[in-house]
Amino acid sequence: MWWQGGGNGGVLKTFVRYMSNSRKRAPNLRKINPKVPQQEAASIAEALYNVIRQHGPLSVSNTWNHAKEASINGLNSKTHMKIMLKWMMGRHMLKLFCNHVGSNKKFFLSTLPEEPHIKQAIEAMELKAKAETPTKSRKRTR
């Protein structure tokens, strides 16, 4: 066969090598500029970390709502909060995970997904999301 290249898989190996190198490299999250001095960034990150730890896995919009309620000093806007969250992920303070429900995706931030109360919250969100998705009923026409 032509793709085996004389029995040793030369063309197939070349194809696999090129396809595996076609993926883009992951962005270096450590180089994200938090747009505030290092000391202030650390205090904002600690406050955001506490908000996420207290309220369980949160989406970005829910994190913003809780951060406004906590009145975190130095946090200017939702955009600034998103930059700070990326900075925190680069420092491995937070983990972003995806929850698939059918064709929809929801992204949540958590501190440590290995903790049992966070696992229970994730499972509860999955069950709630599955219950919210309407089942389509089809009518038969003859």
Domain membership of residue 48 (yes or no) is yes
Q: In this model, does residue 49 exceed pLDDT 80?
A: yes
> 52-61, 71-80, 81-90, 107-116: which has the minimum mean pLDDT?
107-116
Boundaries of domain holding 88:
37-132
Q: How many domains does the chain have?
A: 1
Domain membership of residue 88 (yes or no) is yes
Domain membership of residue 9 (yes or no) is no
Of the two residues 101 and 96, the one the predictor is more confident about is 96
CATH number (domain holding residue 127): 1.10.10.10
Q: Rounded CA gap, 29 and 92, in Å?
A: 10
Q: In this model, does residue 119 exceed pLDDT 80?
A: no
Q: What is the pTM of this model?
A: 0.65
Domain membership of residue 6 (yes or no) is no
